[in-house]
A = this chain, B = another copy of it.
Amino acid sequence: MPAEEILDDIEAFVLDAFGTITDWHGTVTREIKDRAASISDAEAQEFTEEWRRGFMENTSRIAKGSEGPLSADVLHREILDSMLASARWSNLGKQWDENARQKLNLVWHHLDGWPDASKGLHGMKKKKLLVVLSNANIRLLADMAKHGDFPWDVVLSTELFGTYKPNEKVYKGAIHHLALPPSKIAMVAAHMWDLRGAASCGMRTIYVRRSSEDVNAAQGVKCKEEGGEVDIVVNDLVELAGMLERDTRVTQYHV
């Protein structure tokens, strides 16, 4: 089915945040560099990637049933402290006291959007219900939206469902609260694991190619019409908003 026909049936977009809407890699690397003049650009990048990898590994583990904090802020801080106590980063650990660590942990609250994000979301919102469904906690997502001008209609955190993506409780919880058949909801993400979780609950899937996500694999993702796995593939959110504009029927959001 052509992308435009699929989009006609969609009533709500459910969006991933970290990586899909925001450029965590660029923002966190810059903030680390600003706070640690002694380290190289490559080291700042490695610090960012290790912090993010720690978050991904822990949320994945908790999504499978292990114990752990359900707030991204708490989890980010635990990983940060653990990194700063390691041999690799102990030099930074000595430099950053409690106050500095608290402030650094908030960097995730003001990640910059990808250049297309705010404009794309505003376009998408004109036609559909716009929902964020993220492993981040609610306050983090609210701050992120204020910082980046992301006009989503509903903020859903996995914390509300007592786990993290890709546990099915999260997607089923979102479907329940949106009161829509899952086939009328499209998950929008730059991660195949997230879209697979949504698809297993009956949702449509839209893949966004982002340079920092699914590295080495993103370019190979294809839509079903081309023999791939997802419903639609886009390069950014302005492209997705543009596909909605092409629809000549009246699809203005309404109850």
Chain A positions 90-119 with a Cβ under 8 Å from a chain B Cβ = 106, 109-110
Query: Bound complex: CA of A160 vs CA of B143, how far in Å?
Result: 21
Minimum distance in angstroms from A97 CB to a CB of chain B: 19
A116-154 contacts to B, CB under 8 A, are: 129, 131, 137-139, 141-143, 145-147, 153-154
User: Is B137 in contact with A255, judged by CB distance below 8 angstroms?
Assistant: no
Contact A178 B139 (CB under 8 A): yes
Given that A109-B255, A138-B177, A178-B138 are contacting pairs, would A154 and B153 also be in contact in the complex, using a CB cutoff of 8 Å?
no
Q: Is the CB of A179 within 8 A of B253?
A: no
8 residue pairs bridging A and B, Cβ less than 8 Å apart: A106-B255, A137-B179, A138-B154, A138-B178, A139-B178, A146-B255, A147-B255, A153-B155
Check A49 for interface membership: any CB of B closer than 8 A: no
Give complex CA distance A155, B109 in Å.
Answer: 18
CA of A138 to CA of B124, assembled, Å: 20
- A143: chain B residues at CB < 8 Å are 255
Q: How far is the CA of A73 from the CA of B180 in the complex (A)?
A: 13
A137 to B177, Cβ gap below 8 A? yes
Residue A157 at the chain B interface, CB threshold 8 Å = yes
Are the CB atoms of B146 and A153 closer together than 8 Å?
yes
Nearest to A155 among chain B residues (CB) is B154
For this complex, into which size category does the number of interface residues on chain A fall?
20 to 34
- Assess the A142–B129 pair: CB atoms within 8 A: yes
What are the residues of chain B within 8 A of A146 when measuring CB–CB?
129, 153, 253, 255
Answer whether residue A159 sits at the interface, using C-beta atoms and an 8 A cutoff. yes
A174 to chain B, nearest CB (A): 9
CB neighbours of A142 from chain B (8 A): 129, 131, 153-154, 178
CB neighbours (8 Å) of A255 from chain B are: 106, 109-110, 143, 146-147
CB distance from A68 to the nearest CB of B (A): 17
Complex Cα distance A226/B139, Å?
Answer: 35
Residues of B contacting A129 in the complex (Cβ-Cβ under 8 angstroms): 142, 146
